[in-house]
Structure 1
Amino acid sequence: RAEDQGQSLEVHQQIEAMRRRSYQQRTHFLILLRHFQIEEPPSTMPKVCRTATKDKKEKVGLDRRQLLLGDSIIRGVELESSGLVRCLPGATARRDKRRILNIVKQAKQQGEVDVLVHLGTNDLASNEVSEIKEDFCVLGGEIQQIASTVSFSDVLPVHNIQDRQMRNREFNLWLREWCREQGFGFVSHDSSNWSRKELYKKDGLHLTHMGTYWRLLRHGSVRKITGT
């Protein structure tokens, strides 16, 4: 009888562990998207942004939904309710622009859509930072023509590759300021503990479940970008 109870307890523990892992996978970006939904980008926008958005009309009877799209870093993320996740492994802002815009347009057919973009990892692997800035400017402007709000996530670090770390930091500093200027939302991830190898898979690029949970759930936040 004691042996049966021990086996039952072990099974229960295994089920509970599976439940916790499943919960973490579902909530990787969920808290980010909740902040994202509540905190709109600043209302004071450059003239070009105001012109692009001032004539938008709400579609009566259609839901407002969140769309998270990005490269393979967001693989496995699930959102509750009407939230959409579109993972495009290997995606870059330039090469996959048309594909990204089509996804946003399809989401818009169901109602107003708030878009959160997580790109840059693959761009920084092969292109100059100056070129990537131009690509993001073009992509952000065209998404803004379609979506109700636009937010961008900063690029997560690449473990143990010093040159990439420097490029990431340079680009993220620019991305934050650019989002402020354009009236876009900005997702910032905590910069501490970047050297912890257990947060990364063997390629030093993609996050483990622990890494994803740590980075995106515990340290991520969408916030309005002001002049400060």
Structure 2
Amino acid sequence: MPQGVSDTPVEEEAQGGHSQLVTSSSRQCSTAAANPPVVVKDNHYALLDTGEKKSPPTVKGVKPRTPKAGRSAATTDKKRRVVVVGDSLLRGTETPICRPDRSSREVCCLPGARIRDVTEALSRIIRPSDYYPMLLIHVGTNDTARCDAEQIKSDYRALGVRVKEFGAQVVFSSILPVEGRGPGRDRCIVEVNAWLRRWCRQEGFGFLDHGMLFEEGLLGTDGVHLSKRGKALFAHRLANLVRRALN
């Protein structure tokens, strides 16, 4: 998979009307697809060590619906898979996330995707025959281009209803900041992330809070995608969370 990101801003990629689904795992396929962290005691995923001294990632959420000790015989027989799905910011994270065990880890990158695109794509990504200790979702950057926080929240709620059908432990990744796109978009991202944190707690989802870590020199020249260093850090944080889910 390519290790660099596209020079095209995320929101411009979405205007084509269709997104390409790029997956990385033991198989390859493609299909069309229409603040500083606070540690919470009831936390299935403990504080992760990124090797950075600032803003370590925190995942807030509840314990998995199906703990290892309580799995039924039918669940035990299923193949364990962790899926990371989202927009083009995931491009370049495939190798760090999947390399340890490609048979149980998969990154599904949908360039230009909005929240609704992920909702629609899940039925093609999740296999009823498998067991999912975690489904990690990173999406929302494209949606904030319209600065419509209420519509974004509504789309997240619809996505939440959809993911609950799969019985997986779901973790939402906070929207990363952008640069040079105006104060209105900045305010929208801050507002949505604050709401997303509360909503995940209410709904029993995990929340991976990146805070404002990616604001300082880690964004690319377009102000939306990540620089090479930013992408490496982002991939490291996601990979650490996936590793914890499978251990």
TM-score (norm 2): 0.62
Could you tell me which of 197, 200, 224 is aligned with 1:176?
Answer: 197
**Does 2:84 match 1:68?**
yes
Superposed CA deviations along residues 82-111 of structure 1, whole A, max 9, x for unmatched, are 11110001111124422233212x3x4233
Residue 136 of structure 1 aligns to a residue in which SS? helix
The alpha carbon displacement at 1:201 in A equals 1.9
Residue 155 of structure 1 aligns to a residue in which SS? coil
1:217 is aligned to 236
Structure with more helix by fraction: 1
Same amino acid, percent of matched pairs: 32
Instruction: Select the structure of larger CA radius of gyration.
Output: 1
Distance 1:200 1:163, change over 3 A: same
2:29 is aligned to none
- Which amino acid in structure 2 is aligned with residue 204 of structure 1? G
2:27 is aligned to none
Could you tell me which of 85, 103, 112 is aligned with 1:90?
Answer: 112
Superposed CA deviations along residues 132-180 of structure 1, whole A, max 9, x for unmatched, are 1011111112111113211100000112333222111100000000000
In 2, are the aligned partners of 1:58 and 1:112 still within 8 Å (CA)? no
User: Structure 1 regions of 5+ residues with no counterpart?
Assistant: 1-20, 27-33, 50-55, 223-228
Distance 1:221 1:85, change over 3 A: closer
In 2, are the aligned partners of 1:115 and 1:150 still within 8 Å (CA)? yes
Q: How does 1:1-228 map to 2 (within 5 A)?
A: 35=45, 41-43=61-63, 58-78=74-94, 79=98, 80-81=100-101, 82-104=104-126, 106=127, 108-126=128-146, 128-161=148-181, 162-192=183-213, 194-196=215-217, 199-215=218-234, 217=236
Residue 198 of structure 2 aligns to a residue in which SS? helix
| Cα distance between partner residues in 2 of 1:69 and 1:110 | 16
In 2, are the aligned partners of 1:200 and 1:206 still within 8 Å (CA)? yes
Distance 1:193 1:71, change over 3 A: closer
- Which amino acid in structure 2 is aligned with residue 155 of structure 1? I
Residue 167 of structure 2 aligns to a residue in which SS? coil
Distance 1:203 1:63, change over 3 A: same
Residue 66 of structure 1 aligns to a residue in which SS? strand
Distance 1:57 1:140, change over 3 A: farther
In 1, are the aligned partners of 2:79 and 2:129 still within 8 Å (CA)? no
The alpha carbon displacement at 1:40 in A equals 9.0
Residue 59 of structure 1 aligns to a residue in which SS? helix
Equivalences, count? 177
Residue 115 of structure 2 aligns to a residue in which SS? coil
| Cα distance between partner residues in 2 of 1:219 and 1:83 | 12
TM-score (norm 1): 0.66
